[in-house]
Structure 1
């Protein structure tokens, strides 16, 4: 069996040479018989099992990989073998085949796409790359499983450094991340959380860092305490019990503290800023969230499809939404502060039997808003000087309001509609 090995060398006119050699042998031959003008042409003229060796230089193109290939820079140095997006709205490497290796490249300027986009594929290896100034550095989409990401750096990307996202209800899972560095991305590390039954099983250890601090990705563990000594960059708890997370300073992630199917845990005195969501509880019950400060996030603290959670003495200021409770039961919000949020200070939607007591929600878009909620108690809250209503109950019924204050709101103190 013969395995073709392509050597790509970049001059001002980007010449690519190729040579046919024995299996498991990689050579560079400037006198090869095949000449290409781009990496994509080398891919197009390859077959499964080939290796493409790229000499140092700058290449301007977007590359679709639909074969089992290894594409490797000859130097192994991503700073001298650079691929810039020809079309900034497209991915630099769009991988639709299994068993692909991409190693040793600097990938830049896919401003609306990704440096590497693994499109529901398996058993790929992405190693020693530097992904910079893209929309997303490395994007694992849909049923992307059993892939290895090792020793990559994702910096200065306009959305996220590394993103795992589902297609329908299947989330990228069983992937292994080792020693990846995410720094100065808008949201360094991101796992999309919009699907209730999506698997969260991945192997992500603390050698992966955001802004120089380790990611704690904890699966099926109990009785763990993470305090300030852990110096975490992001914390995920999947199928965990009796966790304690306190005194952390976390920022610039999609979710900085994220619970999935986690119960009987406590989150105390953390500071979370500039995230998409500071703290999110998803399908997680009987947790306590106390004394946290969440500022400048899209959502400060989110509760989704969860039961019997208690939030007290938290401050959620200057977010888009301070507290957001959705499809949840028996959530209790006591003595929290939600001021200067762009939309609502406190939002509850499609939720029942919740208690909202003694909270302050001033100077927001809306103070406290319930939509399609029932059998909840609002007592002794203050919602003043909001741009819309102080307390708004839309399409809600059978709720009890006592001793609330809603003064100086631009539209209504109390609004009931629908």
Structure 2
């Protein structure tokens, strides 16, 4: 392994990366570098000293581009510690790479996406990308835009003031044999023009854990289809729903906080208002002060237990579906009904609500 120092050994980052061999470390001293860096290597680390800045001058396309075609495949690339600013396409673009690690970068003032994972190839031997502790701010479109049909882990990133979505999952299902798995953990997302975390068209499979999402222009979390776990997220002050899931199955929604959203706190719905079979677990969530329902369920066959849905403008728990088990929930002081049952075959046991004197009933 060799350590290549910029600008001591090479005047530019690009020259150093081009010369680097497998296992080398490219260490970039503090300073401003006016360049876009193409990375076609295998197993190199590119580390910036504090104060190392890639400057796009509002004219260069990207800070780093990792891989370019299937013939120029990168692998095992680490990019860490840079300030990347003023580019017109992206701060970091992962295009053809099976393992990429983007850590502790500051990415700001980007016209399109902060980080984009834009691959159309499925790696049969597996691929994992890690994006951790990046600070992404003042982005024209998405903070992190994922079109990669592999495994992506996004953890402890701070995303603020983006024109579209904080984290956008946009994968073409026709390119892959099965759904990819995304882990979105402990990110902070504020002031997204559209959604905090979204998979608008494609099925989402993965884990969304302990994220804090505030002040979004639409939903805090908005996902489509798939099997997922959404656990311990804190979503507030969205102009849409706190958490909105369209047609999930065999999924877990547990211990989320969803307050002060313009629409419902948690909304589980089916396409075209026709309830499908959900078999989801909606447990121990707290929803209050939302503009519509605390919890809305328009899917059949779910287990809804130990939630608290208080002081929402419409219903606390609104059931527009059938054959749900509703157990030990607390719903009080909501604007319409505390528990609204518009379905058939729903079973209720030991719920507490302010609409009736008894706390136990059956359909």
Question: Partners of 2:4 and 2:239 in 1: how far apart?
Answer: 40
How far did 1:281 drift?
6.5
Closer, same or farther in 2 for the Cα pair 1:162/1:41, shift >3 Å?
same
Aligned with 2:169 (options 185, 188, 191): 191
Q: Is the 8 A contact 1:188 1:252 kept in 2?
A: no
Aligned with 1:235 (options 203, 209, 221): 221
Question: Partners of 1:282 and 1:245 in 2: how far apart?
Answer: 26
Question: Partners of 1:37 and 1:230 in 2: how far apart?
Answer: 41
Equivalent residue for 2:145? Answer: 163
1:232-381 equivalences under 5 Å are 232-233=213-214, 234-235=220-221, 238-240=226-228, 248-249=235-236, 251=238, 257-259=244-246, 261-262=248-249, 271=261, 285-286=276-277
Matched, 1:149 2:131: yes
Aligned with 1:62 (options 21, 33, 36): 36
How far did 1:45 drift?
1.9
Q: TM-score, normalised by structure 2?
A: 0.55
Gaps of 5+ in 1: 9-15, 19-35, 295-305, 316-330, 332-418
How far did 1:246 drift?
12
Question: Partners of 1:122 and 1:264 in 2: how far apart?
Answer: 28
Equivalent residue for 1:179? Answer: 156
Question: Partners of 2:183 and 2:252 in 1: how far apart?
Answer: 22
Matched, 1:51 2:25: yes
Question: Partners of 2:2 and 2:147 in 1: how far apart?
Answer: 34
Question: Partners of 2:227 and 2:167 in 1: how far apart?
Answer: 20
For residues 281-333 of structure 1, what are the alpha-carbon distances to aligned partners after superposition, in whole Å with 9 as ceiling and x for unaligned? Answer: 68993579xx9869xxxxxxxxxxx9989xxxx99xxxxxxxxxxxxxxx9xx
Question: Partners of 2:115 and 2:20 in 1: how far apart?
Answer: 24
Secondary structure, aligned partner of 1:41: helix
Equivalent residue for 1:344? Answer: none
Secondary structure, aligned partner of 1:43: helix
Q: Flag the structure with more relative contact order, 1 or 2, with Cα contacts below 8 A and sequence separation at least 6.
A: 2
Equivalent residue for 1:72? Answer: 47
Q: What is the root-mean-square deviation of aligned Cα atoms in Å?
A: 5.0
For residues 184-231 of structure 1, what are the alpha-carbon distances to aligned partners after superposition, in whole Å with 9 as ceiling and x for unaligned? Answer: 1122121116647762412222x112129997999579xx9x9xx996
Question: Partners of 2:3 and 2:211 in 1: how far apart?
Answer: 46
Equivalent residue for 1:412? Answer: none
Q: Is the 8 A contact 2:35 2:60 kept in 1?
A: no
Q: Is the 8 A contact 1:246 1:269 kept in 2?
A: no
Closer, same or farther in 2 for the Cα pair 1:86/1:43, shift >3 Å?
farther
Equivalent residue for 2:15? Answer: 41
1:100-119 equivalences under 5 Å are 100-111=77-88, 113-119=89-95
Question: Partners of 1:230 and 1:150 in 2: how far apart?
Answer: 13
For residues 49-71 of structure 1, what are the alpha-carbon distances to aligned partners after superposition, in whole Å with 9 as ceiling and x for unaligned? Answer: 21111000111100100002211
Question: Partners of 2:231 and 2:83 in 1: how far apart?
Answer: 39
Q: Is the 8 A contact 1:264 1:286 kept in 2?
A: no
How far did 1:7 drift?
1.1
Secondary structure, aligned partner of 1:160: coil
Equivalent residue for 1:380? Answer: none
1:131-146 equivalences under 5 Å are 131-134=107-110, 135-142=112-119, 143=121, 145-146=127-128
Equivalent residue for 1:98? Answer: 75
Q: TM-score, normalised by structure 1?
A: 0.49
Q: Is the 8 A contact 1:157 1:184 kept in 2?
A: yes
Q: Is the 8 A contact 1:67 1:100 kept in 2?
A: yes
Question: Partners of 2:114 and 2:87 in 1: how far apart?
Answer: 9
How far did 1:150 drift?
1.1
Q: Is the 8 A contact 1:249 1:272 kept in 2?
A: no
Larger radius of gyration: 1
How far did 1:250 drift?
5.5
Deviation >6 Å, runs of 4+? 212-218, 243-247, 263-270, 278-284, 306-309
Q: Is the 8 A contact 1:163 1:190 kept in 2?
A: yes
Matched, 1:211 2:197: no
